[in-house]
Amino acid sequence: MKLADLYMYLRADIHKIEQEMATAVSNAHPVLKDATLQLLQAGGKRIRPVFVLLAGKFGDYDIHRLKHIGVSLELIHMASLVHDDVIDDAELRRGQETVKAKYDNRVAMYTGDYIFAKAVESATFFDDERIHQAMSKVIHEMVIGEIEQIRYQYVWDQDIKTYFRRIKRKTALLIAGSCELGAMAVGASREEQRALYRYGYQVGMAYQIIDDVLDFTGTEEELGKPAGGDLLQGNVTLPALYAMHHNPEIKAKIELAFQGELPNQEELTELLQVIKESGGIEYSKALSERYLKKAYETLDTLPQIPAVKSLSEIATYIGTRHF
């Protein structure tokens, strides 16, 4: 089953959010418009708007209010992707040329800044300063997470806490924020807002851990990019951290492979293999499961409305996804 099948009944409202995103850039310069619409049309899971809408079911559900939060969060995500492609020097995203590849780095910077400003403007639909504080916290933490990622690139002896702190900031807090902000926008109780935030955080952590696992276990076809990209870019993720921590020989092998020039494909494949055989994948999956278990427990504390079932199914999907 595809993720989108789990929230098929939200399709019309997600479409409204997508339309609003397209409208948001309709007056932009053609290059900005083209760059943004290309990203928009490339699709994606729209996981953040989905969480916003589902959280919105805990209050006085109103798509005309929720869409501003959904648009804002998805545009923030999109702006970060455009800038990430400059950071990673990426040529392709979801099979399409990136903005920086199609134009240049500077156009990508202007595009990302433009989209980010649109995202913030969309949030100004709300006068409630708590919404802006929550939104700005998400953005701020996300940037710190990105900086941390660069800081710890190719640092093979970093501890596991650094990894968790990084994925929390980079991924989990944006999902937590999506849930919290969706609930805030429709006047759900503070208790529900907090519980949804916790659920989002737990699911977000599990999501990123599985994403990191898939970079070792997925095929190029499934991932849309060659496996092992994280390791090659020096992003030290949980399976590799586990392997290096439990087997100093693996650590020495990795360090040797990255001395001087980057490893070639054959060397990379061999490194991926030893990490997979180290138990790092199983360990990471178990940790992801632990986060998901907490997410299910958090859902139990919420009013048992139909949205809980969807949130639970999404959590299950995240734990078992293959791409």
Partner 1 sequence: MRRMMNENERYDYVHDRFLKLSDHRYLHDHITRVSIDEDKTYLLINSIQDDNLREEEEVKRVTAGLLVDAALTTHQYVPLHNENEQREKEKQLVVLAGDWYSSLYYSELSKLGDVGLVRVFSRSIQKTNNAKIRLHERGWKDLEELEELITTMEATLIQNVGIYFNQRSIADFAGHFLTYRRLLDLIEHAEQDKEPFGSARLSPLFAIEPTDRDRENYIQEMISNLEVVAANVKDRLLASYQDNEAALSTQLKKRFMELVNK
Decide if residue 54 touches partner 1 (CB under 8 A).
no
Q: How far apart are CA 100 and CA 85, in angstroms?
A: 7
Sketch the per residue contact string, 92 through 131, with partner 1: x for CB under 8 A, - otherwise: ------------xxxx-xxx-xx-xxx-xx-xx-xx-x--
Burial of 34 (0-12, 13-18, 19+ CB in 10 A): middle
Question: Does the footprint of partner 1 cover residue 15 (CB under 8 A)?
Answer: no
| 280 Cβ contact list (under 8 Å, min separation 6) | 216, 238, 239, 240, 241, 242, 243, 246
Shortest gap between Cβ of 41 and partner 1 (angstroms)? 20
Asked whether position 249 contacts partner 1 by CB under 8 A, the answer is no
Spatial separation of the C-alpha atoms in residues 235 and 155, rounded to whole Å: 8
286 is a contact residue toward partner 1 (CB under 8 A): no
Which residues partner with 218 through β-bridges?
Answer: none
Instruction: List Cα–Cα distances, 163 to 105, 143, 155, 213, in angstroms.
Output: 28, 15, 11, 13
CA 306, CA 133: separation in Å to the nearest integer?
29
Binding to partner 1 by residue 22, rule CB under 8 A? Answer: no
Say if residue 88 is exposed, middle or buried (CB neighbours under 10 Å; 0-12, 13-18, 19+).
Answer: middle
Q: HEC states along 96-120? A: EECHHHHCCHHHHHHHHHHHHHHHH
Task: Count residues near partner 1 (CB under 8 A).
Answer: 43
Q: What is the closest distance, in whole angstroms, from the C-beta atom of residue 37 to partner 1 in the complex?
A: 15
163 binds partner 1 (CB under 8 A): no
Least distance to partner 1 from the beta carbon of 94, Å? 20
Binding partner 1 by CB under 8 A: which of 102, 132, 225, 245?
Answer: 132
Residues 63-82: x/- map of binding to partner 1 (CB under 8 A)?
-----------------x--
Residues near partner 1 (CB under 8 A)? 28-29, 31-32, 80, 83, 86-87, 89, 104-107, 109-111, 113-114, 116-118, 120-121, 123-124, 126-127, 129, 132-133, 135-137, 139-140, 142-144, 146-147, 150-151, 153
